[in-house]
Structure 1
C-alpha cells in the first residue's frame, strides 16, 4: 500500500504548481491518495480561466496546459484544497472555483494529516 501524499503549494509561481500537479497525477495514477493544498498566494493560480504563462510552450511540445493538469488531477481523485485566506488575498469567492475544489486552512489540512503521510512543498 502506498503512503498518502500531501503537496503544499505556497507561491503564485505557475510552474511550481504545474510540477506539483504532475506529481499528484502520477501518484494518483499509481493508486495513491493525494491532497494538494494551495496556500495563500498560490490560490490566485486557480482564478478562472486557469492558465499559466508557459502553457503555449508546453502545448507545443504535446504536454498539457495548467488547466488540463488541474482537471486531470481532480478526475484522478486528488483532493485539491484552496486556502480560505488565499481566496481573500486573490479577491476570489469560493463559488468562482471549480466545484470539486474544497476550501480549508492549514490547521484543518494538518489535522487531517496521517502519521505516515508524506509532505512535499512545491
Structure 2
C-alpha cells in the first residue's frame, strides 16, 4: 500500500483532528503515514487518546523547523523538526494531502 503524507496548513483543531485520524487509520492498515505541521499548526497540542494511538502505530509527525523558531517553541515529544524540502524530497510514492 502506498504511504500517505498529510500537510496540516493551520492551527484549526477540527482540521488537525481529521488529519490525525486519517494518518492513524493509514498506519493501522500497515502503511507509512506522515503528518507535517506547517506554520501555526506547530502550536497544536498532541495529546489525548488519538495522538497516543498515532504514536503507537508509528505515525511520523514532523513540525516545520522555521515555524517552531518563529513561534519560539521546541518540538513536542515524539515530533521531529524538519522542512518542506526534506519532506518533499522523501515523499517517494506517497499520496499527498493538504488540509
Q: Same fold (TM over 0.5)?
A: yes
Tell me how many residue pairs correspond in the alignment: 99
Runs of 4+ in 1 over 2 A off after TM superposition: none
Asked if the contact 1:4/1:117 (under 8 Å) is kept, the reply is yes
Unaligned 5+ runs, structure 1? 51-65
Q: Which has the higher strand share?
A: 2
Correspondent of 1:91 among 61, 72, 96: 72
Give 1:89 deviation, angstroms: 2.7
Asked if the contact 1:44/1:86 (under 8 Å) is kept, the reply is no
* 1:107 matched to 2:88: no
Correspondent of 1:118 among 82, 95, 98: 95
Correspondent of 2:62 among 75, 81, 103: 81
Moved more, 18-27 or 85-94: 85-94
Distance of 1:67 and 1:40 partners within structure 2: 22
RMSD over equivalenced CA pairs, Å? 1.3
* Length-normalised TM-score, structure 1: 0.76
Q: Which residue is 1:4 aligned to? A: 3
Q: Which residue is 2:12 aligned to? A: 13
Larger radius of gyration: 1
Asked if the contact 1:41/1:89 (under 8 Å) is kept, the reply is no
